[in-house]
């Protein structure tokens, strides 16, 4: 029997974050499957915490956060591990394993779930090479992750998160640690994966970059959503001048 009403990719109801002061306005948000949504605002710490709560890395103070119907605030560790098989996650710093090369990092989850995914060694290598090319990482692929410049680490974290074709991509702060070339690479990555039906939720205080990465933008003023609409029409007064920081192009 087909499911007539599949759950939303993300459904947030009356969310109060652990860091919110007493009396904070609870947050509601629904992200449908296939949407690309940016949480924008001045308070990157708060924005990042929302992403972490959605990713099940932190528990909400109150309210419910459901990802593909699973209440991540109440889920057990094993349930979360199961859910995360369908989620790609990019943290602020990337979180590459520093005792491995960039290539080994990109291939880690592919190797780890190799039997489960039914991939042979050749298929893993092929997919890994695709991802290395997607992130423009050919020059640094065989260097230890710890010695590679931060922007490459971020790109590697991105392609690592996309490795197993997740249904949902969560990104804490795409602009962090990126120079202009890195920003172009990230934008190119987003442009490529956007057409695949993947749902994206990211949080960024760099409006200029975020507007180009997502189609729907939410502007958070404090704990209140003051804009929810197409990213292209985000009112300029919400994004103070100077917040679009670095030159940008999609090559």
Taking the complex as a whole, how short is the minimal distance between the CB of residue 230 and another protein, in angstroms?
29
Q: Which is nearer to another protein, 97 or 191 (CB)?
A: 97
Nearer to another protein among residue 111 and residue 216 (C-beta):
111
Q: Are 156 and 96 in contact (CB under 8 A)?
A: yes
Candidates 25-33, 96-104, 216-224, 243-251; binding stretch for another protein (CB under 8 A): 96-104
Among 38, 55, 60, 73, binds another protein (CB under 8 A): 55
To the nearest 10°, the Cα dihedral for 85, 81, 34, 38? Answer: -130
Is residue 57 at the binding interface for another protein, with CB under 8 A as the rule?
yes
User: Hey, which bits of the chain come out as E strands?
Assistant: 10-16, 27-31, 36-41, 62-67, 70-71, 87-90, 168-171, 199-204, 216-221, 224-230
Q: Does 19 interact with another protein (rule: CB under 8 A)?
A: no
The verdict on 70 binding another protein (CB under 8 A) reads no
Comparing CB distances to another protein, the nearer of 101 and 231 is 101
Unique residue bearing structure tokens 């974290």: 157
- The 3-state DSSP composition of the chain as helix, strand, coil percent (nearest 5) reads 35, 20, 40
The CB-of-207 to another protein minimum distance in angstroms stands at 25
Nearer to another protein, 31 or 106 (CB): 106
Cβ proximity of 53 and 65 under 8 Å: yes
95 binds another protein (CB under 8 A): yes
Query: Helices 180-194 and 150-162 meet at what angle, rounded to 10?
Result: 10
- Asked whether 206 and 196 are in contact (CB, 8 A), the reply is no
79, two tokens: 């349930």
Q: Is residue 221 a contact residue for another protein (CB under 8 A)?
A: no
Angstrom distance (rounded) from CA 37 to CA 220: 13
Nearest approach, Cβ of residue 71 and another protein (Å): 18
Q: Cβ of residue 95: shortest distance to another protein, in angstroms?
A: 3
Helix, strand or coil, per DSSP, at residue 109: helix
Reduced to 3 states, what is the DSSP secondary structure of residue 177?
A: coil
Compute the least distance from the CB of residue 109 to another protein, in Å. 5
Collapsed DSSP state (helix, strand, coil) of residue 102: helix
Q: Taking CB under 8 A as the rule, does residue 65 contact another protein?
A: no
Site for another protein in 152-211 (CB under 8 A): 157, 160-161
Which of 19, 25, 30, 82 is the binder for another protein (CB under 8 A)?
A: 82
Examine residue 111 and tell whether it contacts another protein (CB under 8 A).
yes
Beta carbon of residue 176, minimum distance to another protein (angstroms, whole number): 12
User: Could you list the residues that contact another protein (CB under 8 A)?
Assistant: 55, 57, 78, 80-82, 84-85, 87, 89, 91-99, 108-109, 111-116, 157, 160-161
């Amino acid at each position: 029997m087909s499911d007539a009403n599949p759950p939303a990719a993300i459904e947030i109801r009356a969310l109060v974050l652990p860091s919110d002061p007493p009396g904070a306005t609870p947050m509601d948000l629904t992200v449908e499957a296939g949407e690309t949504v940016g949480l924008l605002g001045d308070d990157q710490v708060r924005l990042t915490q929302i992403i972490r709560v959605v990713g099940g890395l932190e528990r909400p103070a109150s309210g419910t956060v459901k990802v593909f119907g699973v209440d991540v605030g109440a889920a057990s560790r094993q349930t979360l591990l199961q859910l995360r098989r369908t989620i790609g996650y990019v943290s602020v710093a990337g979180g590459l394993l520093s005792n491995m090369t960039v290539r080994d990092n990109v291939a880690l989850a592919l190797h780890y779930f190799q039997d489960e995914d039914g991939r042979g060694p050749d298929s893993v290598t092929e997919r890994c090479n695709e991802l290395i090319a997607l992130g423009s990482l050919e020059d640094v692929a065989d260097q230890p992750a710890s010695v590679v410049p931060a922007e490459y680490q971020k790109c590697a974290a991105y392609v690592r998160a996309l490795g197993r074709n997740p249904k949902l991509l969560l990104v804490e702060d795409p602009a962090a640690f990126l120079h202009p070339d890195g920003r172009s690479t990230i934008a190119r990555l987003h442009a490529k994966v956007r057409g695949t039906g993947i749902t994206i939720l990211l949080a960024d205080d760099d409006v200029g970059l975020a507007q180009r990465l997502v189609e729907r933008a939410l502007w958070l003023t404090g704990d209140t959503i003051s804009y929810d609409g197409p990213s292209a029409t985000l009112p300029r007064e919400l994004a103070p001048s100077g917040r679009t920081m670095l030159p940008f192009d999609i090559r």
